[in-house]
Amino acid sequence: MAQKLLLIDTDCGIDDAQAIMMALAAPGVMVLGITCCFGNASVEDVCQNVLRVLSVCDRSQIPVFRGAAAPLVGTPDIPISHFGTDGLGDVLEDRDSERWKTPIQTEHAVNAMIRLVSDNIGQVSLVALGPLTNLALAVKLDPSFPQKLKKLFIMGGNMEGKGNRTVCGEFNFVMDPESAYIVLEEFLCPTYIASWEFTCRNKLSWDFFDEWINQDTAAARFMKEITSKCWAYSRDTLTSKDVVFGPGFVSYDSYAVAAAIDSSVVTESVECAVRVELQGALCRGMMGLDLCDKLKKRHRVFVMKECDLGKFGQLLMAALRQPCKT
Ligand SMILES: [Ca+2]
């Protein structure tokens, strides 16, 4: 079986760490590199977080690239509370030590993205787990970049107008609406989107979470530690997800990785054109689904709707069984 080549673009918070671990654990998947973007934390913290995840999984040979530190327009509005100030729950020691700074590649993430995909034309699937700034920059630097990709998987946007960052906007898209707009207009490759509502509607139980983090592995101990003091993993704290969709464990970014690893995880999708709203006090950053073809766009994307939770749970469970014995 041919290996699946993945390139992961991330704003590594706790759920990104879960998603990256899922990709690392999947048999038949080769992660060519990980490109970093601001989002859950500063891009500097994001790079360090990725290096920590790779270290825990004994996969430090995978190159990590620093990318965009801010959105295309305006200044970054980085939350300080969701996954802690460092993005990984504010529990890890030796932040900013040379151990986590030295291994960052000197090549810029966007250049690396273009190079790695151009070296493997038609073979690389790009999985985007944060604001889409690096992707927007890539298509502006190399307009042929999207057509060199095999597939694009995005965690971001919304399909019902329900927001988590703003009234109608999902976090990744709201952090850089212009980049989300550019990507959904200019990436004409096969595109699969895990929206916020889709991930919340396919949540797992807290019982699953407890079994998951209590596995006897280095990765599970790491996950247990970084979620230990994080309010987003407290059963007692009501998040907007709980208010709208009921309580449960949602590993947001892992759905995009799961779809990239095994397409049968997604059992139903809506195929339609989409566009990101750039105006408005309530709707800036919202993704609109053009179900009636009003926009007359040629390019259609697949907006995920239903998920095989059994398969998804297995992929997630395997994610924490690392480092893998070879
Ligand atoms: Ca993310």
Helix (H) or strand (E) holding 116: helix 109-118
Contact between 159 and 197 (Cβ < 8 Å)? yes
Q: How far is the CA of 87 from the centre of ligand 1 (A)?
A: 10
CA of 294 to the centre of ligand 1 (A): 31
Domain ranges of the chain: 4-319
Please list, in sequence order, all residues whose beta carbon lies within 8 angstroms of the beta carbon of residue 268, skipping any fewer than 6 positions away: 304, 305, 306
Interval between CA 41 and ligand 1 midpoint (Å): 10
Q: What does the alpha-carbon distance between residue 67 and residue 10 come to, in Å, rounded to a whole number?
A: 10
* CA 317 / ligand 1 centre spacing (Å): 19
Sequential pLDDT tens for the chain (326 residues):
679 999 999 999 999 999 999 999 999 999 999 999 999 999 999 999 999 999 999 999 999 999 999 999 998 887 766 888 999 999 988 888 888 988 999 999 999 999 999 999 999 999 999 999 999 999 999 999 999 999 999 999 999 999 889 999 999 999 999 999 999 999 999 999 999 999 999 999 999 999 999 999 999 999 999 999 888 888 877 788 888 888 899 999 999 999 999 999 999 999 999 999 999 989 999 999 999 999 999 999 999 999 999 999 999 999 999 998 65
| Ligand 1 center–CA 11 separation, angstroms | 5
Q: CATH classification of 4-319 is 3.40.50.880, yes or no?
A: no
